Amino acid sequence: MSKPLQNRIALVTGASSGLGRHFAITLAKAGAKVAVAARRVDKLDDLVAEIATFDGHALPIALDVTDPASVTEAVRVAETELGAIGILVNNAGIVQAKPALEIDEADWEYVIGTNLTGAWRVAREVARHMVRMGHGGSIINMASILGEGVTKQLSTYAISKAGVVQMTRALALELAKDNIRVNAMAPGYIATELNQEYFETDIGKALINKIPQRRLGQPEDLDGTLMLLAGDGSAFMTGSVITVDGGHTLAIA
Ligand SMILES: NC(=O)c1ccc[n+]([C@@H]2O[C@H](COP(=O)([O-])OP(=O)(O)OC[C@H]3O[C@@H](n4cnc5c(N)ncnc54)[C@H](OP(=O)(O)O)[C@@H]3O)[C@@H](O)[C@H]2O)c1
């Protein structure tokens, strides 16, 4: 039986853990050949081995999104080894919790440089290839509910994700003529390495109680949105930002 993403080529950044790792498995199960990219290549090797257990196909690629040369090289390797990238899951990201007035230049550069500049760099490079190859494609940016709302101690993160939301819209507008769709997912709190420690604290547990569904999301909760945006079901969607948060952002108080 043919799979929904059979013969598609995908690049997933930040695939060494958390959501990126999960997305790579979901795309591979749907038939895509997946270039899995991050700095920790040993973890990517484990992921490739896991994907091989269900006869999926993945390629590990070293990538640091803060390094322009690394981004160019990673996209080149993915296209040389697997073929023209049709799906980008622009997922690599970090978080740093600090009071706003304690954030120094290095902190700012660390978070904005990874989450916003890094995501822009990868999107631009992949989109350039898509335009050159003339086949179009789907770019899926990882935003966050903190791209719209804010919370204490996470100002750089929220600012970076607000930038990702506007980057999504701006690129969608310019790239629609090239048959490239650019959309974003804005998850609420999903249980991953990024926030594991935080949700074991009392403050973290209290926050879970404020989510209308009274639970953290699991990576699988994003699969429906991922598959929609990656596949032809979203052919007429571009510039959309899809919130997936268990109702977290519904209530004013
Ligand atoms: N979990 C949530 O609740 C949540 C909610 C909303 C949005 N998000 C977003 O979803 C994305 C994934 O988050 P996650 O929860 O899965 O976090 P995670 O488990 O910490 O994974 C982050 C990934 O990003 C990679 N990464 C970090 N810096 C990088 C760099 N300079 N170059 C290349 N890769 C880099 C890491 O790989 P290496 O360290 O191996 O490079 C890792 O694979 C992020 O953009 C995050 O902001 C998460």
Cα 10 to averaged position of ligand 1 atoms, centre (Å): 17
Cβ within 8 Å of residue 80, ≥6 positions away: none
Per-residue tokens: 130: 């898509």
Residues 6 or more apart in contact with residue 209 via CB below 8 angstroms = none
Please give the structure tokens belonging to residue 252. 């004013």
Q: Is the pTM for the entire model greater than 0.85?
A: yes
Q: Ligand 1 pocket, 60 CB below 6 A?
A: no
Q: Which of 138, 124, 125 is nearest to 185 (CA)?
A: 138
**Does the residue 199 lie in any domain?**
no
The C-alpha atoms of residue 4 and residue 179 are separated, in whole angstroms, by: 19
DSSP state of 28: H
- CA 99/CA 109 separation, integer angstroms: 16
- Total structural domains within the chain: 1
pLDDT at 180: 98
Q: Is 179 in the pocket of ligand 1 (CB under 6 A)?
A: no
List all residues 6 or more positions away from 162 whose beta carbon is below 8 Å from its beta carbon: 147, 148
CATH number for position 90? 3.40.50.720
Task: Enumerate the active-site residues.
Answer: 157
Q: How far is the CA of 192 from the centre of ligand 1 (A)?
A: 9
Give the range of the structural domain holding residue 77, as residue numbers without chain letter. 9-191+220-243
- CA 57 to chain CA centroid, nearest Å: 20
The residue assigned the tokens 């690129």 is: 171
pLDDT reported for residue 253: 67
Look up residue 68 and give its two tokens: 């322009």
Query: Positive or negative, the Cα torsion across 45, 35, 121, 157?
Result: negative
- In this prediction, residue 80 carries a pLDDT of 98
Q: CA dist 203 to 95, 128, 192, Å?
A: 17, 44, 17
Token representation of residue 213 = 């569904």
Residue 87 lies in a domain: yes
Distance 94 CA to ligand 1 centre (A): 5
Q: Residue 53 has which token pair?
A: 């257990």
Domain membership of residue 1 (yes or no) is no
Please, what are the averages of pLDDT over each run of 10 residues along the chain (253 residues)?
94 98 98 98 98 98 99 98 98 97 98 99 98 97 98 96 99 98 98 87 90 97 98 98 97 77
Tokens in use for 194? 């990024």
Q: Are strands 57-62 and 33-38 parallel, antiparallel or unpaired?
A: parallel
Phi-psi region of 140 (alpha: psi -120 to 50; beta: other; left: phi over 0): beta
The reply to whether 205 falls in a domain is: no
Quick check: is 142 in a domain? yes
**Per-residue H/E/C for 59-126:** EEEECCCCCHHHHHHHHHHHHHHCCCCCEEEECCCCCCCCCHHHCCHHHHHHHHHHHHHHHHHHHHHH
97 domain residue, yes or no: yes
Question: How far apart are the two ends of the chain, measured CA to CA in Å?
Answer: 48
In a domain, 201, yes or no: no
Write down the pLDDT at residue 197.
Answer: 86
Residue 93 pLDDT = 98
Ligand 1: which residue has its CA nearest to atom 36? 14
Q: Is residue 169 included in any domain, yes or no?
A: yes
Identify the pLDDT of residue 203.
85
Residue 236, pLDDT score: 98
| Residues with Cβ within 8 Å of residue 213, at least 6 apart in sequence | 246, 247
Q: Is the CB of 157 under 6 A from ligand 1?
A: no
